[in-house]
Chain A
């Protein structure tokens, strides 16, 4: 008994709980700050070291002249007043006060990166993680969180959003829109473009005709639908 007590006395936990910073472990003080965080919030304007954000179209979804970044560096075509301000703040022009042409002015209309089949797959995966909770797996705006009471977002398949330029979607993901929060910290810029490519694919899928189906797959159309949910479909991939 004595021997085992001696053994137990050796069980100190110093090495288990070392006085060092590990993610999200509360700390008393870091430097002069004492809010309990060892991981400090980013300094405003900090960017990851692997992307210098020189490519304004890629990182904002807006045309260089409209982006409103680095005012000094932006070329002269910038003084377009109200329209440009509206384009910069999509939150202020809801409910069709402006025509789509005005609302979508200044946004990038083509993907600023090549989209491959792998990008599209990645876009589908990210869409299902971050967007489908509200927008639904097919983009109809009937996701689970909407069924729980969140404001229903518009369907991607309405004409206005079918005509929206890709940069507009990028801006909404990055800065939010109306009740939709921004996803800038959850989705990387590259993944945002991939998600948009998948949104385009969803939009195509809802307005596809028989002519869009490859000839060798036409026979599948008359087959009864398999018992497959979105998740099962993912499994097959």
Chain B
């Protein structure tokens, strides 16, 4: 499946025909919709099950994972790949704790079905660490922009994405632009300091 996608050069990510071909008797994303719609008409809500092997491009390499239609990207990251930096705080994404980069843009992994992430470049917090951590991570440490730390990975990604888009952001813009993430311990003052320091290259 990965090979055929590469050959066809699909840029839309999930390739429905390839998925259906590979899926056999299992449910596929598109089929799920129609089946579910039909089932709703027939007898109210119904759950369509079945699992499928897919490959996801995560932090620069392909990972074979097994998913159901209902499996979220966050579930795959945390439970199949043990990439637990992205956190399950709010299923609807309103805390931003599960933020990852998808094709360079921030998105909450808790609101993305794994199936729809096929063919996309997924970057998690784990890709920003290593021997030479991203300057945002270093600034978070230096400015103590974390307490319990549970929201921190999501916040680091959010700041990284925001500064990628606004590399010269002012403090006022930083205060305006980073309202998608929640920290309950109250590290916002330190996060502002950290983000300002990254802009200044300090």
Partners in one complex: no
